[in-house]
Structure 1
Amino acid sequence: MSQVEMPTVDAVAGVAARILNNIKKDPEFAAFRAASLEYSEDWQCFTGFPVIDRWTLEADAQPLFEEGLRALALKAAVYEATGDDQAAEIAIAVPVDEMTHAMLAQAQLLTAIAARVGAVVIHQTDQEHTDYRAGGYTHDCYRAAWGEPPARYWLDHEEVVRRREVLAGLYQSIGMGRSGREHSITFAAVAA
Protein backbone atom coordinates (compact mmCIF):
# COMPACT_ATOMS: atom_id res chain seq x y z
CA MET A 1 0.00 0.00 0.00
CA SER A 2 1.06 3.56 -0.60
CA GLN A 3 2.84 5.57 2.08
CA VAL A 4 0.65 8.63 1.41
CA GLU A 5 -1.15 10.09 4.41
CA MET A 6 -4.79 9.12 4.09
CA PRO A 7 -7.36 11.92 4.10
CA THR A 8 -9.71 12.27 7.03
CA VAL A 9 -12.86 10.20 7.09
CA ASP A 10 -15.07 13.29 6.94
CA ALA A 11 -13.18 14.70 3.96
CA VAL A 12 -13.56 11.45 2.03
CA ALA A 13 -17.23 11.12 2.98
CA GLY A 14 -18.13 14.59 1.75
CA VAL A 15 -16.35 14.20 -1.57
CA ALA A 16 -17.68 10.66 -2.10
CA ALA A 17 -21.27 11.80 -1.48
CA ARG A 18 -20.80 14.65 -3.96
CA ILE A 19 -19.29 12.34 -6.60
CA LEU A 20 -22.09 9.79 -6.18
CA ASN A 21 -24.79 12.46 -6.47
CA ASN A 22 -23.19 13.87 -9.61
CA ILE A 23 -22.88 10.44 -11.19
CA LYS A 24 -26.57 9.77 -10.55
CA LYS A 25 -27.53 13.11 -12.14
CA ASP A 26 -25.53 12.44 -15.30
CA PRO A 27 -27.65 12.14 -18.47
CA GLU A 28 -26.10 8.74 -19.26
CA PHE A 29 -26.52 7.28 -15.76
CA ALA A 30 -29.67 5.33 -16.66
CA ALA A 31 -27.89 3.74 -19.62
CA PHE A 32 -24.88 2.94 -17.42
CA ARG A 33 -27.08 1.31 -14.75
CA ALA A 34 -29.00 -0.71 -17.36
CA ALA A 35 -25.79 -1.87 -19.04
CA SER A 36 -24.18 -2.83 -15.73
CA LEU A 37 -27.21 -4.83 -14.65
CA GLU A 38 -27.58 -6.44 -18.08
CA TYR A 39 -24.17 -7.99 -17.50
CA SER A 40 -26.07 -10.85 -15.83
CA GLU A 41 -25.43 -13.45 -18.53
CA ASP A 42 -21.71 -13.11 -17.84
CA TRP A 43 -21.87 -13.18 -14.04
CA GLN A 44 -20.26 -16.57 -13.62
CA CYS A 45 -17.93 -15.75 -10.76
CA PHE A 46 -17.73 -18.67 -8.34
CA THR A 47 -16.12 -16.87 -5.40
CA GLY A 48 -17.42 -13.27 -5.45
CA PHE A 49 -21.20 -13.01 -5.45
CA PRO A 50 -21.78 -16.59 -4.17
CA VAL A 51 -20.29 -15.71 -0.76
CA ILE A 52 -23.57 -13.86 -0.10
CA ASP A 53 -26.15 -15.93 1.80
CA ARG A 54 -28.92 -17.12 -0.53
CA TRP A 55 -27.54 -15.01 -3.39
CA THR A 56 -29.90 -14.40 -6.32
CA LEU A 57 -29.29 -12.12 -9.24
CA GLU A 58 -32.89 -10.89 -9.21
CA ALA A 59 -32.87 -9.81 -5.56
CA ASP A 60 -29.28 -8.71 -5.18
CA ALA A 61 -28.28 -6.98 -8.42
CA GLN A 62 -29.90 -3.59 -7.71
CA PRO A 63 -28.62 -3.25 -4.11
CA LEU A 64 -25.16 -4.41 -5.18
CA PHE A 65 -25.16 -1.84 -7.98
CA GLU A 66 -25.69 0.88 -5.36
CA GLU A 67 -22.90 -0.55 -3.20
CA GLY A 68 -20.56 -0.74 -6.18
CA LEU A 69 -21.26 2.92 -6.98
CA ARG A 70 -20.51 3.86 -3.40
CA ALA A 71 -17.26 1.90 -3.44
CA LEU A 72 -16.14 3.61 -6.66
CA ALA A 73 -17.11 7.00 -5.22
CA LEU A 74 -15.09 6.34 -2.06
CA LYS A 75 -12.05 5.36 -4.11
CA ALA A 76 -12.44 8.42 -6.33
CA ALA A 77 -12.71 10.64 -3.25
CA VAL A 78 -9.48 9.23 -1.79
CA TYR A 79 -7.79 9.73 -5.15
CA GLU A 80 -9.04 13.32 -5.38
CA ALA A 81 -7.54 14.05 -1.95
CA THR A 82 -4.23 12.25 -2.48
CA GLY A 83 -3.58 12.03 -6.21
CA ASP A 84 -2.27 8.54 -5.47
CA ASP A 85 -3.93 5.60 -7.19
CA GLN A 86 -2.42 3.08 -4.76
CA ALA A 87 -3.76 4.95 -1.74
CA ALA A 88 -7.16 5.11 -3.45
CA GLU A 89 -7.30 1.30 -3.63
CA ILE A 90 -8.98 1.15 -0.24
CA ALA A 91 -10.33 -2.12 1.15
CA ILE A 92 -13.60 -3.19 -0.49
CA ALA A 93 -15.72 -6.23 0.39
CA VAL A 94 -15.49 -9.07 -2.14
CA PRO A 95 -19.14 -9.05 -3.35
CA VAL A 96 -19.05 -5.27 -3.77
CA ASP A 97 -15.75 -5.47 -5.64
CA GLU A 98 -17.29 -8.09 -7.92
CA MET A 99 -20.09 -5.66 -8.75
CA THR A 100 -17.59 -2.96 -9.63
CA HIS A 101 -16.22 -5.34 -12.26
CA ALA A 102 -19.63 -5.40 -13.98
CA MET A 103 -19.59 -1.59 -13.88
CA LEU A 104 -16.04 -1.34 -15.18
CA ALA A 105 -17.04 -3.55 -18.11
CA GLN A 106 -19.13 -0.57 -19.28
CA ALA A 107 -15.90 1.30 -19.96
CA GLN A 108 -17.18 3.84 -22.48
CA LEU A 109 -20.15 4.94 -20.41
CA LEU A 110 -18.29 4.96 -17.10
CA THR A 111 -15.33 6.88 -18.54
CA ALA A 112 -17.61 9.51 -20.08
CA ILE A 113 -19.64 9.93 -16.90
CA ALA A 114 -16.52 10.15 -14.72
CA ALA A 115 -15.01 12.78 -17.01
CA ARG A 116 -18.16 14.90 -16.86
CA VAL A 117 -18.36 14.76 -13.06
CA GLY A 118 -14.63 15.32 -12.64
CA ALA A 119 -13.91 12.01 -10.91
CA VAL A 120 -11.20 9.45 -11.56
CA VAL A 121 -12.29 5.81 -11.51
CA ILE A 122 -9.75 3.74 -9.62
CA HIS A 123 -9.46 0.00 -10.08
CA GLN A 124 -6.50 -2.21 -10.85
CA THR A 125 -6.81 -5.88 -10.01
CA ASP A 126 -3.21 -6.37 -8.96
CA GLN A 127 -3.49 -3.47 -6.51
CA GLU A 128 -7.01 -3.89 -5.19
CA HIS A 129 -7.65 -4.71 -1.55
CA THR A 130 -10.53 -7.07 -0.82
CA ASP A 131 -9.59 -7.31 2.84
CA TYR A 132 -12.45 -5.11 4.03
CA ARG A 133 -13.24 -5.16 7.74
CA ALA A 134 -15.94 -3.44 9.77
CA GLY A 135 -14.31 -0.74 11.86
CA GLY A 136 -11.60 -0.08 9.27
CA TYR A 137 -10.95 3.04 7.21
CA THR A 138 -13.37 2.16 4.38
CA HIS A 139 -16.13 1.31 6.86
CA ASP A 140 -15.64 4.61 8.69
CA CYS A 141 -15.68 6.62 5.44
CA TYR A 142 -18.81 4.82 4.24
CA ARG A 143 -20.64 5.41 7.52
CA ALA A 144 -19.77 9.09 7.47
CA ALA A 145 -21.14 9.42 3.92
CA TRP A 146 -24.23 7.18 3.92
CA GLY A 147 -24.69 5.47 7.28
CA GLU A 148 -24.02 1.83 8.14
CA PRO A 149 -23.16 -0.33 5.11
CA PRO A 150 -25.40 -3.36 4.54
CA ALA A 151 -23.67 -6.29 6.22
CA ARG A 152 -25.16 -8.64 3.62
CA TYR A 153 -22.72 -7.27 1.05
CA TRP A 154 -19.97 -5.68 3.12
CA LEU A 155 -18.62 -8.94 4.54
CA ASP A 156 -15.43 -8.95 6.61
CA HIS A 157 -12.43 -10.53 4.94
CA GLU A 158 -12.21 -13.46 7.38
CA GLU A 159 -15.84 -14.36 6.78
CA VAL A 160 -15.31 -14.25 3.03
CA VAL A 161 -12.34 -16.60 3.37
CA ARG A 162 -14.47 -19.00 5.46
CA ARG A 163 -17.34 -18.91 2.97
CA ARG A 164 -14.97 -19.45 0.05
CA GLU A 165 -13.68 -22.58 1.76
CA VAL A 166 -17.27 -23.85 2.10
CA LEU A 167 -17.92 -23.11 -1.57
CA ALA A 168 -14.65 -24.77 -2.66
CA GLY A 169 -15.68 -27.99 -0.91
CA LEU A 170 -19.10 -27.94 -2.54
CA TYR A 171 -17.66 -27.23 -5.98
CA GLN A 172 -15.12 -30.02 -5.54
CA SER A 173 -17.95 -32.43 -4.71
CA ILE A 174 -19.40 -31.90 -8.20
CA GLY A 175 -16.06 -32.16 -10.01
CA MET A 176 -15.14 -28.48 -10.20
CA GLY A 177 -11.62 -27.85 -8.97
CA ARG A 178 -9.99 -24.67 -7.73
CA SER A 179 -13.38 -23.03 -7.02
CA GLY A 180 -14.57 -23.22 -10.60
CA ARG A 181 -11.24 -22.48 -12.26
CA GLU A 182 -11.00 -26.01 -13.66
CA HIS A 183 -13.07 -29.14 -14.10
CA SER A 184 -12.75 -32.61 -15.56
CA ILE A 185 -16.03 -32.67 -17.52
CA THR A 186 -15.87 -34.11 -21.04
CA PHE A 187 -18.89 -32.57 -22.73
CA ALA A 188 -19.03 -35.11 -25.56
CA ALA A 189 -19.52 -37.83 -22.96
CA VAL A 190 -22.50 -36.07 -21.37
CA ALA A 191 -25.90 -36.84 -22.90
CA ALA A 192 -27.83 -33.80 -24.05
Structure 2
Amino acid sequence: MSTMPTPAQTATRAKAVLAAVLADEEFGAFEAATLEYSSDWQCFTGFPVIERWSLDTDKGPLFTEGLRALALKAAVFGLTGDEHLAEVAVAVPVDEMTHAMIAQPQLFARIADRTGFKLIHQTDQEHTDYEVGDFTHRAYRLAWGEPPARYWLPKGEVDRRVTILTERYAAIGMDRAGREHDIAFTSA
Protein backbone atom coordinates (compact mmCIF):
# COMPACT_ATOMS: atom_id res chain seq x y z
CA MET A 1 0.00 0.00 0.00
CA SER A 2 1.27 3.46 -0.91
CA THR A 3 1.43 6.40 1.43
CA MET A 4 0.47 9.94 0.61
CA PRO A 5 3.42 12.13 -0.42
CA THR A 6 3.98 15.37 1.42
CA PRO A 7 2.38 18.54 0.11
CA ALA A 8 5.89 19.79 -0.76
CA GLN A 9 6.70 16.68 -2.82
CA THR A 10 3.34 16.99 -4.55
CA ALA A 11 3.84 20.69 -5.27
CA THR A 12 7.25 20.13 -6.84
CA ARG A 13 5.95 17.33 -9.07
CA ALA A 14 2.72 19.23 -9.94
CA LYS A 15 4.68 22.29 -11.10
CA ALA A 16 6.78 20.06 -13.38
CA VAL A 17 3.67 18.36 -14.79
CA LEU A 18 1.95 21.67 -15.45
CA ALA A 19 5.05 23.20 -17.07
CA ALA A 20 5.32 20.20 -19.40
CA VAL A 21 1.65 20.41 -20.34
CA LEU A 22 1.86 24.14 -21.03
CA ALA A 23 4.93 23.60 -23.23
CA ASP A 24 3.39 20.78 -25.26
CA GLU A 25 2.95 21.38 -28.99
CA GLU A 26 -0.79 20.72 -28.81
CA PHE A 27 -1.54 22.72 -25.67
CA GLY A 28 -3.01 25.64 -27.65
CA ALA A 29 -5.38 23.31 -29.50
CA PHE A 30 -6.32 21.63 -26.22
CA GLU A 31 -7.07 24.96 -24.54
CA ALA A 32 -9.11 26.20 -27.52
CA ALA A 33 -11.12 22.95 -27.71
CA THR A 34 -11.81 22.97 -23.98
CA LEU A 35 -12.99 26.57 -23.92
CA GLU A 36 -15.02 26.07 -27.11
CA TYR A 37 -16.84 23.23 -25.32
CA SER A 38 -18.50 25.89 -23.17
CA SER A 39 -21.83 25.66 -24.99
CA ASP A 40 -22.19 22.19 -23.47
CA TRP A 41 -21.49 23.21 -19.85
CA GLN A 42 -24.88 22.55 -18.32
CA CYS A 43 -24.36 21.59 -14.71
CA PHE A 44 -26.72 23.53 -12.47
CA THR A 45 -24.69 23.07 -9.28
CA GLY A 46 -21.07 23.25 -10.46
CA PHE A 47 -20.15 26.54 -12.09
CA PRO A 48 -23.28 28.36 -10.85
CA VAL A 49 -22.02 28.18 -7.24
CA ILE A 50 -19.55 30.90 -8.25
CA GLU A 51 -20.88 34.26 -7.20
CA ARG A 52 -22.08 36.27 -10.20
CA TRP A 53 -20.88 33.49 -12.52
CA SER A 54 -20.10 34.56 -16.09
CA LEU A 55 -18.98 32.05 -18.68
CA ASP A 56 -17.15 34.73 -20.63
CA THR A 57 -15.10 36.12 -17.76
CA ASP A 58 -14.68 32.97 -15.65
CA LYS A 59 -13.80 30.30 -18.20
CA GLY A 60 -10.17 31.38 -18.64
CA PRO A 61 -9.31 31.52 -14.93
CA LEU A 62 -11.19 28.27 -14.36
CA PHE A 63 -9.20 26.62 -17.14
CA THR A 64 -6.02 27.52 -15.25
CA GLU A 65 -7.46 26.13 -12.00
CA GLY A 66 -8.60 22.93 -13.69
CA LEU A 67 -5.10 22.39 -15.07
CA ARG A 68 -3.63 22.92 -11.63
CA ALA A 69 -6.07 20.48 -10.05
CA LEU A 70 -5.26 17.80 -12.63
CA ALA A 71 -1.54 18.48 -12.17
CA LEU A 72 -1.92 17.90 -8.41
CA LYS A 73 -3.72 14.62 -9.06
CA ALA A 74 -1.13 13.54 -11.62
CA ALA A 75 1.64 14.46 -9.18
CA VAL A 76 0.20 12.29 -6.41
CA PHE A 77 -0.27 9.42 -8.84
CA GLY A 78 3.27 9.84 -10.18
CA LEU A 79 4.66 9.73 -6.65
CA THR A 80 2.51 6.85 -5.39
CA GLY A 81 1.18 4.87 -8.36
CA ASP A 82 -2.13 4.81 -6.46
CA GLU A 83 -5.13 6.24 -8.32
CA HIS A 84 -7.24 6.29 -5.15
CA LEU A 85 -4.75 8.47 -3.29
CA ALA A 86 -4.43 10.63 -6.39
CA GLU A 87 -8.09 11.64 -6.22
CA VAL A 88 -7.32 14.57 -3.96
CA ALA A 89 -10.07 16.94 -2.89
CA VAL A 90 -11.02 19.55 -5.49
CA ALA A 91 -13.49 22.43 -5.25
CA VAL A 92 -16.74 21.87 -7.16
CA PRO A 93 -16.35 24.63 -9.80
CA VAL A 94 -12.77 23.55 -10.50
CA ASP A 95 -13.90 19.94 -10.81
CA GLU A 96 -16.49 21.02 -13.38
CA MET A 97 -13.73 22.54 -15.50
CA THR A 98 -11.77 19.28 -15.34
CA HIS A 99 -14.81 17.60 -16.90
CA ALA A 100 -14.64 20.03 -19.83
CA MET A 101 -10.96 19.18 -20.22
CA ILE A 102 -11.58 15.46 -20.13
CA ALA A 103 -14.14 15.94 -22.89
CA GLN A 104 -11.11 16.44 -25.19
CA PRO A 105 -9.85 12.86 -24.79
CA GLN A 106 -7.67 12.49 -27.87
CA LEU A 107 -5.82 15.78 -27.42
CA PHE A 108 -5.40 15.31 -23.69
CA ALA A 109 -4.23 11.71 -24.06
CA ARG A 110 -1.57 12.72 -26.60
CA ILE A 111 -0.35 15.52 -24.33
CA ALA A 112 -0.26 13.16 -21.36
CA ASP A 113 1.68 10.57 -23.35
CA ARG A 114 4.25 13.08 -24.56
CA THR A 115 4.69 14.73 -21.16
CA GLY A 116 4.72 11.50 -19.18
CA PHE A 117 1.88 12.08 -16.76
CA LYS A 118 -1.21 10.01 -16.10
CA LEU A 119 -4.58 11.70 -16.24
CA ILE A 120 -6.41 10.87 -13.02
CA HIS A 121 -10.14 11.50 -12.79
CA GLN A 122 -12.94 9.08 -12.11
CA THR A 123 -16.30 10.45 -11.06
CA ASP A 124 -17.15 7.69 -8.60
CA GLN A 125 -13.84 8.24 -6.80
CA GLU A 126 -13.52 12.02 -6.98
CA HIS A 127 -13.58 14.15 -3.86
CA THR A 128 -15.34 17.49 -4.14
CA ASP A 129 -14.94 18.08 -0.43
CA TYR A 130 -12.14 20.62 -0.67
CA GLU A 131 -11.42 22.55 2.52
CA VAL A 132 -9.05 25.38 3.28
CA GLY A 133 -6.05 23.84 5.03
CA ASP A 134 -6.51 20.33 3.61
CA PHE A 135 -3.85 18.44 1.64
CA THR A 136 -4.89 19.95 -1.70
CA HIS A 137 -4.82 23.49 -0.31
CA ARG A 138 -1.39 23.01 1.25
CA ALA A 139 0.12 21.48 -1.90
CA TYR A 140 -1.48 24.13 -4.13
CA ARG A 141 -0.10 26.95 -1.98
CA LEU A 142 3.41 25.50 -2.18
CA ALA A 143 3.15 25.18 -5.96
CA TRP A 144 1.37 28.37 -7.04
CA GLY A 145 0.48 30.47 -4.00
CA GLU A 146 -2.95 30.95 -2.46
CA PRO A 147 -5.73 29.45 -4.64
CA PRO A 148 -8.35 31.97 -5.83
CA ALA A 149 -11.17 31.82 -3.29
CA ARG A 150 -13.66 32.66 -6.05
CA TYR A 151 -13.17 29.17 -7.50
CA TRP A 152 -11.71 27.13 -4.64
CA LEU A 153 -14.83 27.15 -2.49
CA PRO A 154 -14.88 24.98 0.65
CA LYS A 155 -17.47 22.21 0.71
CA GLY A 156 -19.64 23.87 3.37
CA GLU A 157 -19.90 27.04 1.30
CA VAL A 158 -20.69 25.05 -1.84
CA ASP A 159 -23.46 23.22 0.04
CA ARG A 160 -24.90 26.53 1.27
CA ARG A 161 -24.88 27.97 -2.25
CA VAL A 162 -26.41 24.83 -3.75
CA THR A 163 -29.29 25.18 -1.26
CA ILE A 164 -29.88 28.75 -2.48
CA LEU A 165 -29.67 27.68 -6.13
CA THR A 166 -32.02 24.74 -5.55
CA GLU A 167 -34.63 27.06 -4.05
CA ARG A 168 -34.33 29.50 -6.94
CA TYR A 169 -34.53 26.76 -9.54
CA ALA A 170 -37.64 25.33 -7.84
CA ALA A 171 -39.28 28.76 -8.07
CA ILE A 172 -39.15 28.51 -11.88
CA GLY A 173 -40.19 24.86 -12.05
CA MET A 174 -36.75 23.26 -12.14
CA ASP A 175 -36.75 20.56 -9.48
CA ARG A 176 -33.88 18.58 -7.95
CA ALA A 177 -31.46 21.48 -8.57
CA GLY A 178 -32.13 21.51 -12.30
CA ARG A 179 -32.20 17.75 -12.74
CA GLU A 180 -35.89 17.56 -13.64
CA HIS A 181 -38.83 19.69 -14.66
CA ASP A 182 -42.39 19.20 -15.83
CA ILE A 183 -42.29 21.46 -18.88
CA ALA A 184 -44.26 20.02 -21.80
CA PHE A 185 -42.79 21.21 -25.09
CA THR A 186 -46.00 20.96 -27.07
CA SER A 187 -46.76 23.20 -29.99
CA ALA A 188 -49.72 25.47 -29.64
TM-score, normalised with respect to structure 1: 0.96
User: What's the CA shift for 1:177?
Assistant: 0.6
2:28 aligns with 30
Instruction: Provide the secondary structure at the position in 2 that maps to 1:127.
Output: coil
Instruction: Provide the secondary structure at the position in 2 that maps to 1:188.
Output: coil
Partners of 1:184 and 1:162 lie apart in 2 by 26
2:109 aligns with 111
Which runs of 5 or more structure 2 residues have no equivalent in the other structure? none
Letter of the aligned partner of 1:116 in structure 2?
A: R
User: What's the CA shift for 1:4?
Assistant: 3.5
1:182 aligns with 180
Letter of the aligned partner of 1:128 in structure 2?
A: E
Partners of 2:55 and 2:132 lie apart in 1 by 25
1:153 aligns with 151
Tell me if 1:133 matches 2:139: no
Partners of 1:9 and 1:117 lie apart in 2 by 22
Partners of 1:158 and 1:4 lie apart in 2 by 30
User: What's the CA shift for 1:187?
Assistant: 1.2
Q: Which stretches of structure 1, 4 residues or longer, exceed 2 Å deviation after superposition?
A: none
Partners of 1:175 and 1:113 lie apart in 2 by 43
Instruction: Provide the secondary structure at the position in 1 that maps to 2:152.
Output: coil
User: What's the CA shift for 1:40?
Assistant: 1.1
Instruction: Provide the secondary structure at the position in 1 that maps to 2:177.
Output: helix
Letter of the aligned partner of 1:9 in structure 2?
A: P
Partners of 1:101 and 1:93 lie apart in 2 by 13
Q: CA RMSD in A?
A: 0.9
Moved more, 177-186 or 3-12: 3-12
2:82 aligns with 84
Letter of the aligned partner of 2:108 in structure 1?
A: L
Partners of 2:27 and 2:79 lie apart in 1 by 24
Letter of the aligned partner of 2:5 in structure 1?
A: P
User: What's the CA shift for 1:129?
Assistant: 0.1
Tell me if 1:70 matches 2:75: no
1:44 aligns with 42
Instruction: Provide the secondary structure at the position in 2 that maps to 1:63.
Output: helix
Percent identical: 62
Letter of the aligned partner of 2:133 in structure 1?
A: G
Instruction: Provide the secondary structure at the position in 2 that maps to 1:120.
Output: coil
User: What's the CA shift for 1:44?
Assistant: 1.0
Which runs of 5 or more structure 1 residues have no equivalent in the other structure? none
Partners of 1:41 and 1:59 lie apart in 2 by 14
Instruction: Provide the secondary structure at the position in 1 that maps to 2:159.
Output: helix
Partners of 1:81 and 1:21 lie apart in 2 by 17
1:5 aligns with 3
Residue correspondences, number:
188
1:113-132 per-residue CA deviation (whole Å, 9 max, x = no partner) reads 00100000000000000000
Instruction: Provide the secondary structure at the position in 2 that maps to 1:99.
Output: helix
1:133-156 per-residue CA deviation (whole Å, 9 max, x = no partner) reads 010000000000000000000000
